[in-house]
Chain A
């Protein structure tokens, strides 16, 4: 059976390859960008969920993911007084750009550090599950202590009792936990306050709350909102992924921009490729017309070719994305990237729609070619 689409693609291998690669690259670009963002947000939300608390309370001033306004930790008392609250523990959250065994090269790596009141934090949920070491010790005066999770220990080659550098100070690793409960790095809140917020005492970024009755979390949320009033954010931990994706600054705009870039690249690749192809094949279109091919037949053949190029491009885009995922996981073990079916469908839909739009003009032009002019085209 004469397959003009396949024959055209095989006879113009470079053009086909470049077009397929262009589509694949734009699909992979979108999926890697969105996958990295969503992967890390989901990872953060999951880590917070591992804490086992039911509610997160903070001032309603979300920065990247956490609030950027500190509050007095005496609000913990007010929260504890609300009906249905069993435990409320303050956490001071700071960020660090490196954490490495002392004497080794500093590698830039963004991480959150939780300053916690160990006993209370350990009780707010499931608690720490140490695979080596344990809680903070009452060691020598001035010796700072730190707990990290297993993944961080492996990624940064840190062992129990190592001295590590962080925030300009030396810290002794006293415990390594199985899971990251909210953050990957934990220190005592008063020590973190002294280092990161000198001159201030008794401050917190947020409070994790456990409800007395797990079935009454939404009731406790409502009562906390009522008690604390305006300017406070009281969030069910289970809603955090959607809260982060909707409240993180610029995230929605970034995702829309990536979708736009993907669509524009797909549109331009197919438009240029098919337009160029129509010019090259002007005479062939004339032959088809002399054989009695209808405008619809010609449009269909061009559409089929564009959609086949796009379909192959999408599949290769998925493969590139998966390759990117493995590469990122290998190079940056603490970075999470996800490749979800919904974004596979979204990226494929964007590519198909953009390709379809990009094909319209060349296909319409081809179908309207004067057969006599087309047949005499050199």
Chain B
């Protein structure tokens, strides 16, 4: 593998995804190919139903493609077994969702500790330092013991970002992270993601249908009807 290939964190090659809905086949992705470099902030832009989320789920190992290959951080995600993809998600991927997907029954701090518990590293000496560091990074160290429902939606999304980053993933996959936020909170969350990319070199792939949100990314990939129509908008 050349140095140039080493820089390519995500390589998607001719990926298709077909769903069966009863007797009907729905082709969500139609031969998509793209690459994302290490340290890059990429926005995938497109209207609802164009296959953006399906692409993100495949890259994150939550789903498998019908055909084609997906390599993320040198791991073949298309042909890996479920256990391998689960471990990969745990170690290399951080997800941020439109609806935050926090556990409302846990405090913000415990939500951030959860990936460490799943990874079996919660009892490490450095784990509490990591949690504090993440809360500081997202500017919520004073909300450690607050429950998500006691926080604003912008704060909840920042907690979700801290949770996604606690295990130091290779890539942050954000699915419409500002979709449920007002403009002020959207700006804060996007600013935070930009800061993570600029200062920590965090690779980010963000799905959005919002052109303003996509503007903070280094590069915009545009999709329509399950296909990429522009790799560098």
B218 contacts chain A at the CB level, 8 A cutoff: no
What is the chain B residue whose CB lies nearest that of A283? B101
Q: Which of B70-78, B88-96, B136-144, B221-229 contacts A (4 or more CB under 8 A)?
A: B88-96
A288 to B117, CA, bound (A): 11
What is the chain A residue whose CB lies nearest that of B58? A372
Known: A2-B111, A11-B105. A372 touches B89 (CB 8 A): no
A287 touching B103 by the CB < 8 A rule?
yes
From B89, B104, B111, residue with most partner A Cβ within 10 Å: B89
Which residues of A from 295 to 334 have beta carbons under 8 Å from B?
295, 297
A8 contacts chain B at the CB level, 8 A cutoff: yes
Tally chain B residues at the interface, Cβ within 8 Å: 29
Rounded to whole Å, the gap between the CB of A152 and the closest CB of chain B is 58
A372 touching B119 by the CB < 8 A rule?
no
A291 touching B114 by the CB < 8 A rule?
yes
Q: Which residues of B contact A293 (CB under 8 A)?
A: 86, 90, 118
Chain B interface mostly helix, strand, loop or mixed? helix
Known: A290-B95, A292-B119, A375-B97. A4 touches B89 (CB 8 A): no
Known: A1-B117, A2-B111. A294 touches B101 (CB 8 A): no
A292 touching B115 by the CB < 8 A rule?
yes
A191 contacts chain B at the CB level, 8 A cutoff: no
A134 contacts chain B at the CB level, 8 A cutoff: no
A293 to B106, CA, bound (A): 17
Q: A2: which of B83, B104, B117 is its contact (CB, 8 Å)? A: B117
A2 touching B106 by the CB < 8 A rule?
yes
Q: Which residues of B contact A291 (CB under 8 A)?
A: 89-90, 95, 114-115, 118, 163
Known: A1-B122, A291-B115, A292-B86. A375 touches B101 (CB 8 A): yes
Q: Which residues of A contact B87 (CB under 8 A)?
A: 292, 294
B190 contacts chain A at the CB level, 8 A cutoff: no
A284 to B57, CA, bound (A): 17
What 3 A-B pairs are tightest by C-beta distance, nearest first? A292-B90, A2-B110, A7-B105
Q: Could you pull out 9 A-B pairs where Cβ atoms are within 8 angstroms?
A: A1-B110, A2-B106, A2-B111, A287-B101, A290-B97, A291-B115, A292-B89, A292-B119, A294-B86
A interface list, Cβ under 8 A from B: 1-4, 7-8, 10-11, 283-284, 286-295, 297, 371-372, 375
